[in-house]
Amino acid sequence: MFVLGLLTCIVLRAFSAQAEVAKTFDKCSRFFYKDTEPQGMDQNAKKICQRFEINSSGVRRSTPYNSGSYATLYSVPHRIPLYSAYTPKWSCSDTTGRTNKWHLEPKISEPKSPTDYMVPENKKNQDTYKGNQAISSDYRDTGYDRGQLNPNSFSCTDDGRKATSTLTNAAPMDARFNCVHWKNWESTLKSFLIKKLDSEEATAYIVTGTVPDANKRIPQKEISEEPERVTVPSHIWTAVCYKHNYNNKNSFSFGYIGENLSRGKVNLMSVSQLNNRLNQLYELSNITIFVDNCFEDNNKLNKVKQAFQKLIGLPATPDVQNTINALQTVRTNGEDVKVTDMIVKLTFGSLSSYSTMAENLKVFSESACLITNYGQESVECQLDSKKRKIAADGSPCLRISDSGSGCHCYTGGETKRCCSTLCLYQDDVKSYRCDSGQKEIACSPPYSLVTFRGEQCKDDHPCGTYGKNYYWCNTISGHSDYCSPPLWRSKAKNGQYCRNNNACAKYGESQQWCYTDDSKKHKCCTSDDCYSTVRGKTCRSDHPCDKHGEKYLWCYTTDGSWDYCCTECSSVPVSRGTRQRTGRNWS
């Protein structure tokens, strides 16, 4: 039997998160459809409702319990949440990544503790609280991520995202499953619900949960002196109840569940089917996520499937489909034959869809799709599954040595750092990073075979940094040329996105620039978030990019000055301070 605990978490700069251990969800029932929690779980569960306390000018007052951020049902024996229930409300478009700081909940480990709010994790409190909950070191070098059930990307504010970074909202997810499969389903769900919630008055009740695997725990015995503390889920699932406020004909529900494996498949289904699947996995018979399955309707489910279709099948041209069918015929007939060579070219309708796929390919198959042509909107690329021996800057290696002290590439003339892990884009630093041994370093992923002028790179010299602070390649015409960097969300000062083949960079000049659809040259930002500026500075967290009473976009920067920026973020709360600016006025 599970011993369960409920936890909701929120951390705000001027707030402290409060929690109360209770026997019912009465004080935080707003997160559940019809105020009713999922049924069929252990009745001996500890339940904690979350509220937060506001400090303002020395005055402290508590808000009502129903203003908490989300509810998490937490299993102490497994040291993972069994589910998180949340009702997202998106009023902004910012997609800033999660905080690197994780938190612990004192009340889970010490019910009589006077500390009734989550606290930042540190060495001292890890030892104090690890008896009843997981700590970050439990995940280290295990191959599993701290997978958030209530995802930080579903929170509109920076403080809301911080609230999701608590280990009581995290369960071990296979690294590839988490950042490829599950991430894609989360992103598609968010896009689908944003369109619905923007056009209709409704509430989306979401429950995301785990199925603990009794035979799998981390950390593994061979890597830890305190092994097998945290249960690894065999499956991750999500149930959605979309309740229209005035017209139940517009209400519907659905769910999906995936195996927590590197190649784990996620399946879309009705809520009743999800209930049945969970009962099978839990070996129970009475699990019910939503009352009356929340307006379940197969016709409506088919419409939902259309939104998730891109995750279910890959469309192909008729000629390509004929080739696939021919290969399947050969395989079916059992002929003594094998495929010895294959060239695969893909066309994406937008740079955004290409960039998402490119990261997924690296994680899922350690492959790249090298850009061969930039269209006005579309991007063409060729799959490259070669296991290249390259340094972190893209330089070819004759030999690689990878040990605890780091990865080293011997080029024949010098020794360079190489990557022990995948080279992936990191939102928090707006650049590509990998680990070399125990050290995080900058890296240059293979991504393109064309320069920003449209010239073709040599096949063995795709765009990369190669020891420079910019991207370039050697071309087939015998000279070198700048490449458009893989900064897919770069934006110009005029608020327009940079052209596909001309991401924000200096291209040999003194300042960053790019062309936009108006065919003019503009200063630019390397990201479309609310905090990047045209000179590579960072807007203050309390003063994101906006017009702030002027005719252009600007912000105060963290170095005490100001700068132009590129994304209007009027929906992000800002402080009302003086508008006097210092520094030279430049355009």
- Summarised one tens digit per residue, pLDDT across range 402-434 is 887 889 999 988 999 999 988 988 887 889 999
Query: CA-to-CA distance for 575 and 505, rounded, in angstroms?
Result: 31
- Summarised one tens digit per residue, pLDDT across range 539-550 is 999 999 999 999
Residue 185 scores a pLDDT above 70 = yes
Burial string for 446-471 (b: 16+ CB within 10 Å, else e) reads: bbbbbbbeebebeeebbbbbbeeeeb
- Summarised one tens digit per residue, pLDDT across range 204-236 is 999 999 999 989 999 999 998 899 999 999 999
- Considering only 221-230, 240-249, 378-387, which range has the smallest mean pLDDT? 378-387
Query: CA-to-CA distance for 479 and 457, rounded, in angstroms?
Result: 10
CA proximity to 387, closest of 397, 377, 379 = 397
Strand partners, 267: 257
- Summarised one tens digit per residue, pLDDT across range 500-549 is 999 999 999 999 999 998 889 999 999 999 999 999 999 999 999 999 99
- Name the CATH code of domain 4-311 (choices 3.30.300.30, 3.90.245.10, 3.30.1390.20, 3.40.570.10): 3.40.570.10
Helix-, strand-, coil-residue percentages of the chain, each rounded to 5: 20, 30, 45
In this prediction, residue 352 carries a pLDDT of: 83
CA proximity to 407, closest of 396, 399, 418 = 418
**Contact assessment for residue 423 and residue 407, using Cβ atoms and an 8 Å cutoff:** no
- Regarding predicted confidence, which is higher, 220 or 365? 220
Lookup: tokens for 114: 């006077």
- pTM of the entire predicted model: 0.55
Domains of the chain, residue spans: 4-311, 345-482, 492-587
- Residues contacting 323, CB < 8 A, separation 6+: none
CA proximity to 190, closest of 240, 227, 233 = 240
- Summarised one tens digit per residue, pLDDT across range 114-159 is 876 778 899 889 988 899 999 999 999 999 999 999 998 887 766 6
In this prediction, residue 12 carries a pLDDT of: 30
Lookup: tokens for 558: 């963290």
**Contact assessment for residue 392 and residue 418, using Cβ atoms and an 8 Å cutoff:** yes
Query: 29: which DSSP letter?
Result: G
- How many Cβ atoms sit within 10 Å of the Cβ of residue 421? 14
Lookup: tokens for 429: 């630093």
